[in-house]
Structure 1
């Protein structure tokens, strides 16, 4: 399945540490698209591993992660407003 993951980590006392770990975990499974946005193709088991690892770091009262799932990336369309990063983020066509 095709995944788009977006996160917001509160930058309080422990936020920088949480942010580093969340970023590294996401980078292990997905392609980094933009600041706190990742995308890529994952199996169900890979998605489960990803969410399990993230659950260890995300603070439910301060941070949030949204995971968009789609069976096929061909159903998605990408439009840039402002800086066009299509050379760096060519996962959508």
Structure 2
């Protein structure tokens, strides 16, 4: 395995040290954090691209697949999403 040197601040070094167990290297911790980030991304790149295309269509006045919500319905959806995030 080829190794690389990276520069990190003292603060980051301390935080990585706190995250690592006795048997883990900084590489293990960083790999775990990267995997965790990818697993918990809000959207994949593909999903984000699709949402951005839909937003562009909407901004240009294309109302296909657009529906109206009452304020009450919107509040219920927001509450549901907030509860899912808390899990």
Q: TM-score scaled by structure 2?
A: 0.26
Q: Which fold has the larger relative contact order, with Cα–Cα distance below 8 Å and residues 6 or more apart in sequence?
A: 1
Q: TM-score scaled by structure 1?
A: 0.25
Larger radius of gyration: 2
